[in-house]
Amino acid sequence: MANFEYAPAPESRAIVDIASSYGLFINGEFIDPIDGTPFKTVNPASEEVLAEVTAAGPADVDAAVKAARRAYDQVWSQLSGRDRGKYLFRIARIIQERSRELAVLESIDNGKPIRESRDVDIPLVAAHFFYYAGWADKLEYAGLGPDPRPYGVAGQVIPWNFPLLMLAWKIAPALAAGNTVVLKPAETTPLTALAFADICQQADLPPGVVNIVTGAGETGRALVEHPDVAKVAFTGSTEVGKQIARSVAGTAKKATLELGGKAANIVFDDAPIDQAVEGIVNGIFFNQGHVCCAGSRLLVQESVYDEVLASLKRRLGTLRVGDPLDKNTDIGAINSAEQLARIRELSEVGEAEGAERWSPPCELPDRGFWFPPTVFTGVSQAHRIAREEIFGPVLSVLTFRTPAEAVEKANNTPYGLSAGVWTEKGSRILWTSSRLRAGVVWANTFNRFDPTSPFGGYKESGYGREGGRHGLEAYLR
């Protein structure tokens, strides 16, 4: 009997309307840059140029910060919490109404499968705005003192892996707390942030409360270093996080940083194996592994190593790699040529260091940036692929014998963002999770997110929390 071949099931692109070029969103309007220069954003699945956007120059950033400052002084800080909340509710609703458009746009610009942008990213974006909208008039109950105050202008720099979701994580609490923002989306994924600017207009958000400046590292630097920025929020690499920590040293700026990770996903011998395998797959192959909290180090108890590996490999054989807009795609495109090169390089290092490399047979499209789901076995803690964040669909498998050894290996990294624990034994879960030096521990699950749930790292994975009551703390003094 023939195989059950799923015919292509592409989501229609017709719903999105991408302009040929975009200015900067400053003071409620799309404007031409003062000293910015144009650059192109491409669809990583096809290398097709999607639009020309603007790399904001220092003068542009200055204009944006000034607009935000003005909006803070004259409008936003004068508004009641209740009214701020209403704007946020309005934004949440518009996001829901435009969810399909945003999902398609996200997948086109980022390369992530439409299933994820549709079922994970965009619903969470709306949920974040809903959640923080409700806080806006209840800040005195947040446990941060009787009269918590906003900082003023928040400068926010976000990564390309969850473009609109990271925007929501940044903008929703900032506005709820009464700050105004200047946000810089990642160089390779500016389009949904620009669509969000349109949503701000649609919501009649007062001009200057949200400003979007596109660009690369230099634009981000200008924003972070701008003297009128009172609060810096960054999600991205640990390397840049350290630069930001240095740049705010000696200033009054408050910084929160959500950085890299090298999470251990620990599978004990009494784990629910089938769900653990799903968790491993979700942990490292969700969003092509472009996830700071990805479970990139699998730690398997030796007694179930063969079982888990066999199950995992069989499961990887069913992963569908390809067109991000196909509703059945599990793994989409790598976000950029640059990122692909890094993944390739580290994978080659893994091989050179003696780890065994395996990928399921899968056909990759000719154009665009692609990398097959890859598993390295025979990895030790000393290998670079077990220490460095690869930020791609590459899993390193290590083994352990005792719970103490598992915890020791899991913690043996400068990072501390997340971890996974799989066991059917309740007390072992609590024992293990209390010893893991990580900000989020997923027990018998992985990569779950919710606006009510604080997220953030220990050690070099950064500081501050996003989500929940704790997430407000970053935007109030």
Partner 1 sequence: MTVLEALDAARVSEITASETSLRRFLHGLPGVDQVGADARAAMLATRSIKTTAKKWAIDLAISMIDLTTLEGQDTPGKVRALCSKAQRPDPSDPSVPAVAAVCVYPDLAGVAAKALAGSGIHVASVATGFPSGRTSLEVKLADTREAIAAGADEVDMVIDRGAFLAGRYGQVFEEIVAVKQACGDAHLKVILETGELATYDNVRRASWLAMLAGADFIKTSTGKVAPAATLPVTLVMLEAVRDFRDATGRQVGVKAAGGIRTSKDAIRYLVLVNETAGDDWLDPNWFRIGASSLLNDLLMQRQRMSTGRYGGPDYFTLD
Partner 2 sequence: MSPAAKRRKGTERGADREHRPERLAVKKTYKLYIGGKFPRSESGRSYEVTDSKGRFLANAAWASRKDARDAVVAARKAYPGWSSATAYNRGQVLYRVAEVMEGRRAQFVDEVAAGEGTTRPRAEKIVDEAIDRWVWYAGWSDKLAQVVGSTNPVAGPYFDFSIPEPTGVVAVLAPQNSSLLGLVSVLAPVIVGGNTAVVTSSYERPLPAITLSEVLATSDVPGGVVNILTGRVGDTAPWLAAHMDVNAIDLAGAAGDTEHATELELAAADNLKRVVRAPAAEPDWTKLPGLDRMTAFLETKTVWHPMGV
User: Which listed residue (106, 116, 187, 258) is catalytic?
Assistant: 258
Dihedral sign from CA coordinates of 409, 386, 282, 450: positive
Question: Candidates 5-13, 51-59, 184-192, 428-436 — which segment interacts with partner 2 by CB under 8 A?
Answer: 428-436
Q: Which residues partner with 182 through β-bridges? A: 155, 211
Q: How far apart are CA 401 and CA 263, in angstroms?
A: 19
- Work out what residue 411 binds among partner 2, partner 1, none; the CB cut-off runs from 5 to 8 Å by kind: none
Binding-site member from 9, 15, 49, 352 for partner 1 (CB under 8 A) = 9
CB under 5 to 8 A by kind: which of partner 2, partner 1, none does 456 bind? partner 2
Contact flag: residue 249 with partner 2 (CB under 8 A): yes
Residue type, 162: F
Q: Under rule CB under 8 A, which residues in 164-203 are in contact with partner 1?
A: none
Tell me which stretch binds partner 2 (CB under 8 A): 216-224, 340-348, 381-389, 444-452: 444-452
Cα–Cα distance measured from residue 186 to residue 110, given in angstroms and rounded to the nearest whole number: 10
What is the contact mask toward partner 1 in residues 288 to 327, using x (rule: CB under 8 A)? Answer: ------------------xx--xx-xx---x--------x
Nearer CB in complex with partner 2: 198/278: 278
Of the candidates 91, 173, 459, 476, which one interacts with partner 2 according to CB under 8 A? 459
Among 8, 145, 227, 354, binds partner 2 (CB under 8 A): 145
Residue 405 annotated as catalytic = no
Question: How deeply is 275 buried, as exposed, middle or buried, from its count of CB atoms within 10 A (0-12, 13-18, 19+)?
Answer: middle
Q: Would you say 397 and 358 are in contact if contact means Cβ atoms under 8 Å apart?
A: no
Using rule CB under 8 A, residue 227 touches partner 2: no
Check binding of 202 to partner 2 (CB under 8 A).
Answer: no
By a kind-dependent CB cut-off of 5 to 8 A, residue 470 interacts, out of partner 2, partner 1, none, with partner 2
Q: Which of 292, 293, 466, 473 is catalytic?
A: 292
Residue 115 near partner 1 by CB under 8 A = yes
Q: Show Cβ contacts of residue 183 under 8 Å, excluding neighbours closer than 6 positions.
A: 156, 157, 158, 167, 170, 171, 193, 210, 211, 212, 213
Verify whether residue 473 is a known catalytic residue.
no
Residue 329 CB contacts under 8 Å (≥ 6 apart), including other chains = 113, 114, 115, 320, 321, 322, 323
3-state SS assignment for residue 42:
strand
DSSP codes joined into one string, 200-259: HHHTTPPTTSEEE---SHHHHHHHHH-TTEEEEEEES-HHHHHHHHHHTTTSS-EEEEE-
What is the size of the binding site for partner 1 (CB under 8 A)? Answer: 31
CA 227 to chain centre: 27
445 binds partner 2 (CB under 8 A): yes
Q: Which neighbouring-strand residues pair with 53?
A: 39
Q: Per rule CB under 8 A, is residue 453 in the interface with partner 1? A: no
Contact between 462 and partner 2 by CB under 8 A: the answer reads yes
Q: Which is nearer to partner 1, 73 or 307 (CB)?
A: 307
Task: Name residue 155's beta-bridge partners.
Answer: 182, 232
Residue 174 main-chain phi, psi, to 5 deg: -60, -45
For partner 2, give the closer residue by CB, 140 or 345: 140
Residues in contact with partner 2 by the rule CB under 8 A: 127, 143, 145, 238, 241-242, 245-246, 249-250, 257, 259, 414, 429, 433-434, 438-445, 448, 450, 452-456, 458-460, 462-463, 465, 468-470
Residues in contact with partner 1 by the rule CB under 8 A: 1-9, 115, 119, 270-275, 278-279, 306-307, 310-311, 313-314, 318, 327-328, 424, 444-445
